[in-house]
Amino acid sequence: MATTEYEPSKHVERFLKRQEQMKAETTAKGRRSDMKHFERWVNQNDGVDDVTAVESLDIEDFVFAQSQDGYANGTINNRYYSVKKFYAFLDDKLDIIDETPFEGVDRSDLGNMMNGTKKAEATREEISYLSREQVDELADNVPEPRLRNELMVRLMFQTGCRQGELVGIRLEDIDRDDRSIRIHATKTDTNRTVYYQPDIDFLMNQWIDGGYRSSSMYAAESPYLFCSRQSEQFTDHKVNWVVKEAADEAGIQSSMYEDAGGLKRNKITSHVLRHSHAVAALTRPNKKDVRTVQKHLGHADISMTQRYLDITDDDVRNEYERGL
């Protein structure tokens, strides 16, 4: 059976070309193989939008997944080092991430993971999500500029789109009469249509027509729905920052664990809004069937959507335990 040829994403391709220029041929080939395995893992992981959105916990998850797949420790270490060099390149040379995710990785934990410790798996098993009331609290406590940031939060919750998909929305993708948005999923290279509710019409119309978006010096040349004061396209990590800041301000943020550098790894991130959409869609009173939710989220495999059914079963039980 023929295998699909590896086509690196643009930042990875730039990194690999630099490796080819600076390293021996065998080293450069090794880097390409290592990054191929890493990018494939990223594309299959619903908790990660793209390589620029990877966090410390994702690096640990990648190491654990490689171990679970039966790769030798030496092979895993080589891949770990190649990925670490890649993020140093993004941070130092391209300056497109705030910090390398390896800042929060505890090397002492990695040996345990390769020997079967299930810290990453256990963390992933507990899907974090917000109630509708908590989403409202989040949206009400976004940092400035408030209208733009509230629109982003509510749009992610109502559509279930990933942060990378959100920043990729173009003005031409939006049908305001139909309240629909055409989404291109870079993870699966597919298109789908998502829908939002009438209660954000005001935010959408004010942002596009009310002078808020046009106040950016890049608005006239930007095809994207969301631009900023610094760029014609909003960035993934900035979306995540908005959500984390809002959660802190609302008093609903919590920490999953503390990394080796003493930094707390936040539970509420932008991806939690995607989980929250799925849970809300599958619960009462206007619940959707799982295949409808699968299509709206853009899951290639329905088993990814079915994970949320366990959560909704718990919600139903909790409601009935309160009495009728």
Q: Give 181's contacts (C-beta < 8 A, 6+ positions apart).
A: 159, 161, 169, 173, 174, 175, 193, 194, 195, 196
pLDDT attached to residue 87 = 93
In this structure, how many other beta carbons lie within 10 angstroms of the beta carbon of residue 53?
23
Residue 126 corresponds to which tokens in the numbers above?
């507990």
Does a cis peptide bond (omega within 30 degrees of 0) precede residue 223? no
Alpha-carbon span 207 to 196, nearest angstrom: 15
pLDDT attached to residue 163 = 87
CA nearest neighbour of 160 among 300, 293, 15, 6: 293
Question: So where are the chain's domains?
Answer: 10-125, 132-321
Q: Give 280's contacts (C-beta < 8 A, 6+ positions apart).
A: 132, 157
Q: Quick: pLDDT tens for 257-298.
A: 554 445 556 678 888 999 899 888 887 566 778 888 888 888
Residue 249 corresponds to which tokens in the numbers above?
């301000």
pLDDT attached to residue 283 = 79
pLDDT attached to residue 188 = 62
Q: Quick: pLDDT tens for 41-77.
A: 888 776 666 788 888 888 888 888 888 777 877 788 8
Per DSSP, the chain holds a count of helices (H) and strands (E) of 14, 5
pLDDT attached to residue 107 = 64
Superfamily of domain 132-321: Intergrase catalytic core (1.10.443.10)
pLDDT attached to residue 109 = 61
pLDDT attached to residue 213 = 95
pLDDT attached to residue 257 = 56
Superfamily of domain 10-125: Tyrosine recombinase, N-terminal domain (1.10.150.130)
The structure's pTM equals: 0.63
- Please give the average pLDDT of every successive group of 10 residues along the chain, which has 324 residues: 70 93 87 92 75 85 82 83 92 84 72 51 60 92 96 96 91 96 77 94 97 93 91 88 92 67 69 90 76 84 77 52 42
